[in-house]
A = this chain, B = another copy of it.
Amino acid sequence: MTMPKYVIGIDYGTLSGRCVLVDVNSGEEVAESVLNYAHAVMDETLPSGEKLPSSFALQHPEDYLDVLRTTVPDVLKKASITADDVVGLGIDFTACTVLPMDENGTPLCMKDEYKDNKHSYVKLWKHHAAQPEADEINELAAKRGEAWLHIYGGKISCEWALPKILETLRKAPDVYENTYRFIEAADWLSLMLTGEETYSAVFAGYKGLWNAETGYPSNDFMTALDSRLDGIVGTKLSENVLGMDKIAGHVDERGAELTGLNIGTPVALPMIDAHAAMPALNITDDGDLMLIVGTSACHILNSKDIKNVEGICGYVKDGVIPGLYTYEAGQAGVGDIFDWFVKNCVPVSYIQEANEKGISIHKLLREKASKLDVGESGLLALDWWNGNRSVLVNSNLTGMILGMTLQTKPEEIYRALIEATAYGLKVIVDQYENSGIKINNICAAGGIAQKDEMMMQIYADVLDRQIRIAGSTQAGALGSAIYASVAAGVYTDVKAAAAKLSKSDIKIYKPITENVKAYKNLYREYKILHDYFGKENKVMENLR
C-alpha cells in the first residue's frame, strides 16, 4: 500500500485565495482553506485614501502573501498532516494581473517612496484605465502590419500587459523608470516561493504578446510606440519564459517561511485560473473545448492544429498541455448581464414573490423562464452589454434586445438574455470549425454551469451538442494541484495526472431535437443581427 502523499493547489481569484490539499494518488480533496484579500479590489481609493479614477482596479501584493501564510498551514492542520507529506505546490492566478518590482523582487507599492503612487500597485485584470493605450497599440500594430496581431484576432485588450505598462510610462514615468521588471502577480509568487525568477508561458503568451517562435514585439515596434520603450524587451520584460514542460523551481528559505512547507518542495509553473481547470476536468485532448461560465465566459480549446482564427484571443503552444496549442475565446458578459438585469430591471412584485418563496430572484426568474417554450416570448437579444470579445473583438459594442410588447414579462427578457449568450457562444464554436479546427467535446465549468439547468439545456440545444458539466467547484485549485503532482514527479505528464486526479462529470446535457430545430431558426435571426450591428451598422459605436 502506497503511503498517502499530498499536493497543494492555490487558486488566486479576484477577491480571495482558495487553497486545497489533494491526495496525490486518489485525487480526493482532503482539506480546503479560503482567505479574502484584506484590500479586496481597490477601485475607489488607495490605502492612503487618495481617490482613484473610475476605471481603476488595483490590488495589494501583501494580500497574496497572506494567502500563503494562512491557508497552507490551515489545510495541513485540518488534514492533520505535516509538511513532510506535501510533495508539490501549484498556483493559478487571474490574468493579466501585473505589477512593477525592483531588483530585489519588492513590489514598488510596498516601498515608502512609491506607496502613494497608484501606478506602483498591482493592476488587476479588470483595470480598464489603459484603454487609450490599447487603442494606440492596436492602431500602430495594424498600420505596421505586425504579424503577432493576427494571433490575437486583430486586436488586443486594455486588460493586457503592454497597455498597462504604457499607461504607467505615460502617467507615472518615475515608476516606469525605477521598475526593474514588470511581472505577472503569478510569476511574482513563484519568485517569492522559490527565489527563482521564471515566467510562465501561458501568461506571457495570452497577455504579454509573447510567442515561442518570435518572442515579444520588436524593439522597432516598441520605440515607434514610445521612444522611452527602447530596450524594454530583455530588461523590464523578461525573456525567461517557460512552457509547462518545465517547473518554476523549489521552495526556498523565504518560501518555507511563508508557507510552512519544506525547503525543496517542487513548485509548478503558475497557470491562468481559467486554464488550470482543464486538467482538473480532464480536458486535455485535441478537440476538447472547455466553457467557463461566470460573470463573463472564457472558452478554451486544445488543438494539435495551428490556424489563424479571426476574432479569437490567441493561442499558445505548450501553454496548458505540452504538445498542444491552446486557443482562447471569450464572451465579455454572461452572468454580469443577468446581474445587471436583476439589479436594474426586476419589479418589486417579483422581489416580493422571491422573498415569500425564500429563493433568490435569479432562481425565481429561472423558474418562470423555464416554463416558456422556445421562441414563445418573441424576444431576441445581442449579448454585448460588456462589449464583444470574440469574434468581433470590439469593446464598444453594446447590448440590444428586441421583440418587446406591452405584454412582455421580466422572465421572458431574462431568458432572452440567457439565449443571447448561447448564440454568442455558437458564433465562437462555428468560427473555430469554419477555420478548420475541430471541436470534439464540450465541457462546462463554473458555478452557473453547475446551478443553472435551464441555461445548460439551452446551451446544448442551441449548439446541438452534448455538454458535460464538470464535477468540481474548485476546478482552478484542483488543476493547480495536478500541475503540482507533475512538478513533484508523481506523474510523468499532465494528461496522466489528469486521467487519475480529475473529477468526473456530474451531469451531461443532451440536445432536445424539437428545441434544436426551433433554436436553429432563432439563431439564424441572431446571426443576421450579429453581423448587422457588428459589421455593417456602426450605430452602437456612434452612440458611445
Residues of chain A touching chain B, judged by Cβ–Cβ distance below 8 Å, are 333, 336-337, 340, 343-348, 351, 375, 378-380, 382, 385-386, 398-406, 408-410, 521-522, 525, 528-529, 532-533, 537, 539-540, 542-544
Contact = CB atoms under 8 A, between A and B. Distances in A.
Contact of A385 (B348, B399, B406, B521): B406
Contacts of A398: 378, 402-405
A524 to B, nearest CB: 9
A537 B403 CA distance: 13
19 contacts: A333-B406, A340-B406, A343-B347, A344-B347, A345-B347, A345-B410, A346-B348, A375-B543, A380-B543, A385-B404, A385-B408, A386-B405, A386-B406, A398-B402, A399-B402, A400-B401, A525-B543, A528-B539, A532-B532
Nearest to A339: B406
Given A385-B404, A401-B401, A401-B402, 19 more contacts: A333-B406, A336-B406, A344-B410, A345-B347, A347-B347, A347-B348, A348-B348, A375-B543, A378-B544, A380-B539, A386-B406, A398-B404, A399-B404, A399-B405, A401-B404, A403-B540, A521-B542, A529-B537, A532-B537
Contacts of A532: 532, 537
Contacts of A543: 375, 378-380, 402-403, 522, 525
A402 B539 contact: yes
Among A385, A528, A533, max chain B CB count under 10 A is at A385
Given A385-B404, A543-B403, A345 B348 contact: no
A399 B385 CA distance: 18
Nearest to A410: B344
- Point out which of A404, A542, A544 has the most chain B C-beta atoms below 10 A from its C-beta: A404
Contacts of A542: 521, 525
Nearest to A336: B406
A403 to B, nearest CB: 5
Listed residue (A347, A522, A537) with the most chain B CB atoms within 10 angstroms of its CB? A347
A403 B540 CA distance: 6
Chain A interface secondary structure, helix, strand, loop or mixed? mixed
B405 A385 contact: yes
B409 A403 contact: no
Nearest to A337: B406
A409 B346 CA distance: 12
Contact of A402 (B345, B409, B528, B540): B540
A528 to B, nearest CB: 6
A405 to B, nearest CB: 6
Nearest to A378: B543
A539 B544 contact: no
Contacts of A382: 402
Contacts of A540: 378, 402-403
Nearest to A400: B402
A522 to B, nearest CB: 8
Which 5 residue pairs are nearest across A and B when measured between Cβ atoms? A399-B404, A400-B402, A345-B345, A378-B543, A398-B403
Most B CB atoms within 10 A — which of A382, A405, A529, A544? A405
A359 B521 CA distance: 45
Nearest to A349: B343
Contacts of A528: 537, 539
Contacts of A404: 340, 385, 398-401
Nearest to A340: B406
Count chain B CB atoms within 10 A of each CB in A333, A346, A528, A543 and give the residue with the most: A543
A521 B538 CA distance: 13
A455 to B, nearest CB: 19
Contact of A408 (B344, B346, B347, B379): B344
A110 to B, nearest CB: 32
Contacts of A400: 400-404
Nearest to A407: B340
A325 to B, nearest CB: 32
Contacts of A344: 345, 347, 408-410
A339 to B, nearest CB: 8
Contacts of A346: 345, 347-348
Contacts of A402: 382, 398-401, 533, 539-540, 543
The listed residue with most B CB atoms (<10 A of its CB), out of A336, A539, A542, is: A539
A350 to B, nearest CB: 9
Contacts of A345: 344-347, 410
Contacts of A525: 539, 542-543
A344 B406 CA distance: 10
A181 to B, nearest CB: 34
